[in-house]
Amino acid sequence: DLDAMQAALLAAIPKAQSATVCIDLGGGSGSGVIINAEGLVMTAAHVSTGVGKDVTVILPDGTKLKAETLGLDSETDAALLRITEKLPEGKPFPFVEINRADDTKLGDWVFSLGHSGGFDKDRGAVARIGRLVRVANTTIQTDGALIGGDSGGPLFDMDGRLIGIHSRGGMVGGV
């Protein structure tokens, strides 16, 4: 099982890390994940802090881009923002696939990424593995440890598909 998990992680993490961003709010930060080539970012509602706010998204290579918050759902603690600046040469943003089949189940192995304690280019997004320990309606919970700065970061199945974003108190908002 460990060999299979290692192989899955080695295959999935590079793409997942390329789309995992730090969201700089000026007085703090959180994490997010790019979900389309145009720069739509999913994060936690408490990270976005509202609608129509200007924030800065920091890409894994340290590039800082302007973004604006679009909308949020405080009940599930989910939000979207849009990167308003383009990449050089009009390149598309790296993004992850969303697990639209919603086929995760209790006990599944998962991995999470986040910018614990803020952006650090040398360290990159921190990866953690865990298992789903609770699945209910719009929330899922893992036994993977999270700390400040991980909020809004992505949770992936072992195929590298997005299944949720980190919320408060160890809960993860559904996608």
164 pLDDT above the threshold of 50: yes
pLDDT of residue 145: 80
154 with 142: CB under 8 angstroms?
Answer: no
111 with 9: CB under 8 angstroms?
Answer: yes
Active site residues: 46, 77, 151
Question: Chain-wide mean pLDDT for the chain?
Answer: 90
The residue with tokens 């952006």 is 119
Separation of alpha carbons 135 and 128, rounded Å? 19
Torsional class of 141: left (φ above 0), alpha (ψ -120 to 50), beta (otherwise): beta
Q: Which two tokens stand for residue 28?
A: 């703090």
Pairing of strands 20-24, 54-58: antiparallel
174 with 142: CB under 8 angstroms?
Answer: no
pLDDT of residue 172: 45
Q: What is the pLDDT of residues 11-53, one digit of tens each?
A: 999 999 999 999 998 888 999 999 999 999 999 999 988 899 9
Local confidence band at 174 (pLDDT 50, 70, 90 cut-offs)? very low
- Determine the straight-line distance between the first and last CA of the chain, rounded to whole angstroms: 27
Q: What is the pLDDT of residues 115-142, one digit of tens each?
A: 988 898 989 888 899 999 998 887 888 8
Read out DSSP for 109-124? EEEEEE-TTS--TTT-
